[in-house]
């Protein structure tokens, strides 16, 4: 499904319209994530969280001590 522009639209249309028997209106009404879920493929290809990605996120968004006036949501 990877192409220079990111998505193989002809292949996705065949899979959605022929394979899943969606109407064109139904196909174009889906988000890429919804279509990927229906086709049983992983949207985005991000995969599982790695230690490196977790460390990057922790560095970017560090925990901070709670303040007395912090609201609990």
* Tens digits of residue pLDDT in 14-65: 999 999 999 999 999 999 889 988 998 875 556 667 899 889 989 999 988 7
């001590």: which residue's tokens? Answer: 65
CA gap 29, 23 in Å, rounded: 10
Q: What is the pLDDT of residue 72?
A: 66
Predicted TM-score (pTM) above 0.75: no
């Amino acid at each position: 499904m990877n192409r220079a522009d990111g998505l193989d639209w002809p292949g996705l249309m065949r899979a959605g319209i022929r394979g899943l028997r969606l109407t064109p209106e139904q196909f174009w009404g889906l988000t890429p994530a919804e279509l990927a879920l229906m086709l049983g493929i992983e949207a985005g290809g991000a995969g599982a969280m790695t230690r490196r990605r977790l460390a990057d996120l922790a560095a970017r968004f560090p925990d901070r001590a709670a303040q007395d006036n912090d609201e609990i949501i």
